[in-house]
A and B are shown apart, each in its own frame.
Chain A
Amino acid sequence: SAVISQKPSRDICQRGTSLTIQCQVDSQVTMMFWYRQQPGQSLTLIATANQGSEATYESGFVIDKFPISRPNLTFSTLTVSNMSPEDSSIYLCSVEDTGTGLNEQYFGPGTRLTVT
């Protein structure tokens, strides 16, 4: 399966600032996804990032708040802008691994963000 890394692993940020989270995959993948997991909640899809096109955002998420870059087939970034304490969550990137032909989705190790 694809090996995914994320940076930073965790961060504590002040409200009003922005944080960019990086996601790196060890193989080329077409589809990358960004999820959020708020405390005590399950995972919610923020957006889908395909290389060469604009990210597709889910209902309730907007580009101004969560700009995404996807410069190539192995890398993506998610920025959490103008943060508030409600943005405190675990942010996870995932990829669809087509290598096996089954298209399973695997997750990176996550970034735990605390906004004070």
Chain B
Amino acid sequence: EDKVVQSPLSLVVHEGDTVTLNCSYEVTNFRSLLWYKQEKKAPTFLFMLTSSGIEKKSGRLSSILDKKELFSILNITATQTGDSAVYLCAVEDDYKLSFGAGTTVTVRA
């Protein structure tokens, strides 16, 4: 059975801080790893990672994948209150996504 573990489960930071979120996985047929931001109902797509060592960046967010050690990290620099959300990591096994429990990030002004 596919397994996706995220850490920490939650954290509270102040505006301007940098946060690092972790995601480790065990899957049978790895195809990709995806990060989503969930604020209300719908997860919003952030990144899709398929190759090790290639950093993906979008503004203050970046992510990288290590397929040898089976983990990924998501970094958020210069955090803002609008970054407060649940960040979900999902691993694609064939075409199906298995999700981690998520990391709840709270950014205080």
Q: What is A's interface to B at a CB cutoff of 8 Å?
A: 1, 31, 33, 41-45, 48, 58, 90, 92, 94, 96, 102-110, 112
Interface mask (B19-41 → A, CB under 8 Å = 1, otherwise 0): 00000000000001010100011
Name the one of B32, B44, B88, B92 contacting A42, with C-beta atoms under 8 angstroms.
Answer: B88
Is A104's CB under 8 angstroms from B34's CB? yes
Chain A residues lying within 8 Å of B102, measured Cβ to Cβ, are 42
How far, in whole Å, are A1 and B40 apart by their CA atoms in the complex? 20
Is B88's CB under 8 angstroms from A48's CB? no
Is A104's CB under 8 angstroms from B48's CB? yes
CB distance from B86 to the nearest CB of A (A): 9
Interface of B, helix, strand, loop or mixed by DSSP: strand
Is B97's CB under 8 angstroms from A106's CB? no
How far, in whole Å, are A33 and B99 apart by their CA atoms in the complex? 14
Is A42's CB under 8 angstroms from B41's CB? no
How far, in whole Å, are A25 and B41 apart by their CA atoms in the complex? 18
Is B95's CB under 8 angstroms from A106's CB? no
Interface size class of B (residues with CB under 8 A): 20 to 34
Is B101 positioned at the interface, with any CB of A under 8 Å from its CB? yes
How far, in whole Å, are A64 and B95 apart by their CA atoms in the complex? 24
Name the one of A33, A45, A90, A105 contacting B41, with C-beta atoms under 8 angstroms.
Answer: A90
Which partner residue on chain B sits nearest A43 by CB separation? Answer: B99
Is A109's CB under 8 angstroms from B42's CB? yes
Which partner residue on chain A sits nearest B43 by CB separation? Answer: A107
CB distance from B91 to the nearest CB of A (A): 12
Chain B residues lying within 8 Å of A31, measured Cβ to Cβ, are 95
Is B48's CB under 8 angstroms from A102's CB? yes
Could you list some 20 contacts between A and B, CB below 8 A? A41-B101, A42-B99, A42-B102, A43-B90, A43-B97, A43-B99, A45-B96, A45-B97, A92-B42, A102-B48, A104-B45, A104-B48, A105-B34, A105-B92, A107-B43, A107-B45, A108-B42, A110-B41, A110-B42, A112-B41
Which partner residue on chain B sits nearest A102 by CB separation? Answer: B48
Given contacts A105-B34, A112-B41, 4 further A-B contacts (CB under 8 A): A58-B96, A103-B95, A107-B44, A110-B41
